[in-house]
Amino acid sequence: MTNTSPGLSYPADMELWGIDEPLRVVGADGKRTGAADPRYPDDLGSEGLRRLLTDMVVTRRLDVELVRLQRQGQLALFSPCLGQEAAQVGVAAAMMPEDWLFPQYRELGMFVARGIDPVGIAMMWRGAYHGGRGLIEKKTMPMCIVVGAQVPHAAGYAMGVKLDGATEVVVAVMGDGALSEGDVHEAFNMATVFDLPCLFVVQNNQWAISVPPQTQTHSTTLAQKAVAYGMPGVRCDGNDVLATYSVTAESLRRIREGGGPMLVELVTYRRGPHTTSDDPTRYRDQAELEHWAALDPVDRYRRHLEGEGLWGEPEEEAVGKVAEEAAARLRAEVYDAPDPPVTELFDLVFSKPTKELEHQRAQLESSLTWNEP
Amino acid sequence: MVGALNAALGDAMERDSKVLVFGEDVGRLGGVFRVTEGLFERFGPTRCFDTPLAESGIVGLAIGLALRGYRPVAELQFDGFSYPALDQVINQLAKYHLRSGGLVELGVVVRIPSFGRIGSPEHHSESPETYYAHTAGLRVVCPSAPADAYSMLREAVECPDPVIFLEPKQRYWAKQDLELPVRTEPFDHAVIRRAGDDVTLVAYGGAVAVALSAAEEAESQAHVGVEVVDLRSLSPIDFDTLVASVEKTGRCVVVHEAPRTLGVGAEVAAVIQERAFYHLEAPVLRATGFDTPYPPARLEAQWLPGVDRVLDAVEAVWSY
């Protein structure tokens, strides 16, 4: 990683990259930005490079399916990630399987890239389970609805990793709005004071429901906030999956080697609504949407792989089939899925239900039996 | 009591290397009440450490450590300063076990020096128990004497559930001859502190001492036999012990410093009328703080439920 901000000079613990222009290795035209850019992730190999596009295409297809399921009354709500596929897949692909992810809730691309069954994600949005299912098994904590609340958890977990002398890195993911939350400040502060193996990833998708970054902060960029905490900050083009992968991989390497926490801002755009209950036409222009649609991360990366001779008709056909199958399976398993028994709630309040909870469960159970036709 | 709590932390840390003690000023200073005195020197800065001034972050850190398999014991310096951490306590700590589908346990202890009667400035004398007890997923306990302080804190650290451990500041300097380690009744059991046949007085924390003084006075002055029940656990409440006492006495008064409306006394009164209605000789009364903000220090003696207010209530249920 090289410093692309020659005008800025900071001490070693206040390194900043990408402030003037976000780091990227593939331009909007799909071509490499530099012929021999050392940040280009050659280590991925052609299979790894194709895998990124596969995950992005599958994510987009599942995203569409989840919106449809919501429109058909199968999900109570959904927060689409359209436009953020590169930022999400790039981060997750750079993580080691043993690294822990502390997500917010709009992280479908990360879940797909980590091999988490989308059915477990859909079941949260369906209103069947809090937090989702099948995440912890893939070293990913349950989805967190309170914005930024997961970030101090990541710091605490990272402290445990450090105490254990282990080499995992803990990745906390949040959006631009989260940086206004006190919990995020407290977590950044704790992580730097205690020098914890924690990577903070901000997906700056330009909108926190209806509020743009200029209303959230007077800082020009989000990455520069890292300076005040005494950690390195990187601003990266989040619609460039290879730059995202490369920046994340390099950050994780530095943290794993004891370099302390880092902050990465991924500049991207939420092209869909905040959730299926939102109407973004009330607060943003069509022109802005069109601007970002032209910078679509999936099209851009597909063009890039085509240009590199790594993608063509057969690959497109194969990935389309994978995506359709994934969407069909999701639909089949979510549509009219049976609800978990309501009595399960009583078993999960404490490690063992109290006498009062047993009593209340019995009360509910008897009323349910009574009401059965 | 400070010594008993300190010994409990030290013994818990000795027994289990996963036990970590942290919070504001708990390291070199040993805590503003000296509850953590000597732990920093004895166990080193990775096991007992100061955090930045950030209550929400402290609880968030504790959650993360528990997810990793540690046994964090976090101190929030004063009751009133526990409120900035409410989101982490109510939305995260209390619900994480359920949110994980039961896959992770949140064995976190949050110690909070609580309640008044120590002449402090604003926000240092709050009674926060109802906020916590009203939240599903939290155990809320409150010792009233040094032996319980030791035993209940040891049990809290060993408990796989989140425990809000309310320490009555006014009892910090209470003395009791103890041989440690001492184990008293399980921490979710109520205990009869004084037997009596005529009126049941229900209290917890610092109010237990007030209730016991009132009981002595009632006995010596009016020959009324007062039974004092120390709740110890405010979530869950041991209603079996409580109801058995009221079935015997037929009369009940609840004492707490917290404002009256929707306090622990309201729940106690509701359950007693549900479960012991035909045993009651009088309505359940409450001798409590008032529905005002906690008063400035010079006014607290008048505001707090003292022996006189408790005796008035005992007299009222006795003569009903």
Q: Where are the domains of chain B?
A: 2-171, 191-318
Residue A206 has pLDDT above 70, yes or no: yes
The pLDDT tens digits for A328-346 are 999 999 999 999 999 999 9
The pLDDT tens digits for A32-44 are 998 778 889 989 9
User: Phi/psi zone of residue A195: left (φ > 0), alpha (ψ -120 to 50 degrees), beta?
Assistant: left
A187 to chain B: closest CA residue: B57
Place of tokens 């016991």: B212
Instruction: Say if the Cβ atoms of B68 and A164 lie within 8 Å.
Output: yes
B160 to chain A: closest CA residue: A351
The pLDDT tens digits for A348-366 are 999 999 999 999 999 999 9
What does the alpha-carbon distance between residue B152 and residue B158 come to, in Å, rounded to a whole number? 10
Q: Residues 6 or more apart from A263 whose CB is under 8 A from it? A: A188, A200, A202, A222, A223, A225, A226, A229, A231, A232, A233, A234
Q: Given B123, B124, B134, B256, which residue is catalytic?
A: B124
For residue A41, with 0-12 CB atoms within 10 Å meaning exposed, 13-18 middle and 19 or more buried, which class applies?
Answer: buried
Instruction: Say if the Cβ atoms of A142 and B100 lie within 8 Å.
Output: yes
Q: Given A61, A114, A235, A270, which residue is catalytic?
A: A270
Residue A8 has pLDDT above 60, yes or no: no
Would residue A283 show up in a list of annotated catalytic residues for this protein? yes
CA angle A64, A66, A70 (to 5 degrees): 115
Mutate to test the interface with A, among B61, B105, B237 (most CBs of A within 10 A): B61
Q: By the CB < 8 Å criterion, does A131 face chain B?
A: yes
What distance in Å separates residue A77's CA from the closest CA in chain B?
Answer: 18
Residue A110 has pLDDT above 50, yes or no: yes
The pLDDT tens digits for A211-249 are 999 999 999 999 999 999 999 999 999 999 999 999 999
Contact A190, B54 (CB under 8 A): yes
B62 to chain A: closest CA residue: A156
What does the alpha-carbon distance between residue B170 and residue B160 come to, in Å, rounded to a whole number? 29
Sheet containing A262-267, strands listed edge to edge, beginning at the edge strand earlier in sequence:
A16-17, A233-237, A262-267, A198-204, A170-175, A100-102
Instruction: Say if the Cβ atoms of A186 and B136 lie within 8 Å.
Output: no
Query: For A175-188, what is the mean pLDDT?
Result: 98
What does the alpha-carbon distance between residue A338 and residue A332 come to, in Å, rounded to a whole number? 12
Q: Residues 6 or more apart from A234 whose CB is under 8 A from it? A: A1, A16, A17, A18, A23, A223, A247, A251, A262, A263, A264, A265
What does the alpha-carbon distance between residue B51 and residue A184 come to, in Å, rounded to a whole number? 15
Alpha-carbon torsion B39, B40, B43, B47, what sign? Answer: positive
Nearest to A349 among B100, B136, B237 (CB): B136
The pLDDT tens digits for A143-156 are 999 999 999 999 99
The pLDDT tens digits for B293-316 are 999 999 999 999 999 999 999 999
What distance in Å separates residue A156's CA from the closest CA in chain B?
Answer: 4
Joined tokens for residue A165: 């002398």
| CATH architecture entry for B191-318 | 3-Layer(aba) Sandwich (3.40)
Contact A145, A151 (CB under 8 A): no
Contact A1, A17 (CB under 8 A): yes
What does the alpha-carbon distance between residue A150 and residue B61 come to, in Å, rounded to a whole number? 10
What does the alpha-carbon distance between residue B288 and residue B259 come to, in Å, rounded to a whole number? 6
Residue ranges covered by each domain of chain A: 12-340, 341-373
Supply the DSSP string of B249-288, one letter for each residue. Answer: HS-EEEEEEEESTTSHHHHHHHHHHHHSGGG-SS--EEEE
Q: For chain B, give the mean pLDDT.
A: 98
Cis preceding-peptide flag for B181 (omega within 30 of 0): yes
Q: By the CB < 8 Å criterion, does A116 face chain B?
A: no
DSSP-derived letter for residue A141 is P
The pLDDT tens digits for A252-289 are 999 999 999 999 999 999 999 999 999 999 999 999 99
Instruction: Say if the Cβ atoms of B57 and A155 lie within 8 Å.
Output: yes
Element (H, E) at A322: helix A313-334
Contact A268, A205 (CB under 8 A): yes
The pLDDT tens digits for B170-221 are 999 999 999 999 999 999 999 999 999 999 999 999 999 999 999 999 999 9
- The pLDDT of residue B90 is 98
Instruction: Say if the Cβ atoms of A133 and B101 lie within 8 Å.
Output: yes
Query: For A303-319, what is the mean pLDDT?
Result: 98
> How confident is residue A369, by pLDDT bands cut at 50, 70 and 90?
confident
Instruction: Say if the Cβ atoms of B68 and A161 lie within 8 Å.
Output: yes
Query: For B139-167, what is the mean pLDDT?
Result: 98
DSSP-derived letter for residue B84 is G
CATH of A12-340, one of 3.40.50.2300, 3.90.1150.10, 3.30.300.130, 3.40.50.970: 3.40.50.970
Cα dist. A129→A133, A142, A341, B98, B159 in Å?
7, 10, 11, 9, 25
Nearest to A190 among B57, B103, B105 (CB): B57
Share of residues in chain B with pLDDT > 70 (%): 100
Mutate to test the interface with A, among B56, B233, B234 (most CBs of A within 10 A): B56
What distance in Å separates residue A291's CA from the closest CA in chain B?
Answer: 38
DSSP-derived letter for residue A181 is S
| CATH architecture entry for B2-171 | 3-Layer(aba) Sandwich (3.40)
Which is it for strands B233-235 and B139-141: parallel, antiparallel or unpaired? Answer: antiparallel
Residue A11 has pLDDT above 60, yes or no: no
Instruction: Say if the Cβ atoms of B95 and A345 lie within 8 Å.
Output: no
- The pLDDT of residue A10 is 43
Contact A264, A88 (CB under 8 A): no
Q: By the CB < 8 Å criterion, does A19 face chain B?
A: no
* Three-state secondary-structure class, residue A251: helix
Phi/psi for A32 (5° steps) reads -60, 140
- Which chain B residues have any C-beta within 8 angstroms of a chain A C-beta? 46, 51-52, 54, 56-57, 59-70, 72, 84, 87-88, 91-92, 95-105, 136-137, 139, 160-161, 188, 236-237, 239-240
The amino acid present at B252, given as its one-letter code, is C
What distance in Å separates residue A272's CA from the closest CA in chain B?
Answer: 27
What does the alpha-carbon distance between residue A229 and residue A218 come to, in Å, rounded to a whole number? 17
Phi/psi for B46 (5° steps) reads -90, -15
- The pLDDT of residue A373 is 53
Residue A3 has pLDDT above 80, yes or no: no
Alpha-carbon Rg for chain A in angstroms: 21
Q: How many CB atoms lie within 10 A of CB B173?
A: 11
What distance in Å separates residue A340's CA from the closest CA in chain B?
Answer: 11
- The pLDDT of residue A5 is 42
- The pLDDT of residue A9 is 43
Would residue A218 show up in a list of annotated catalytic residues for this protein? no
Cα dist. A103→A43, A146, A171, A172, A231 in Å?
26, 11, 8, 6, 21
- The pLDDT of residue A372 is 56
Q: By the CB < 8 Å criterion, does A187 face chain B?
A: yes
pTM: 0.96
For residue B302, with 0-12 CB atoms within 10 Å meaning exposed, 13-18 middle and 19 or more buried, which class applies?
Answer: exposed
Establish, for the pair of chains A and B, how many residue pairs have beta carbons separated by less than 8 Å: 122
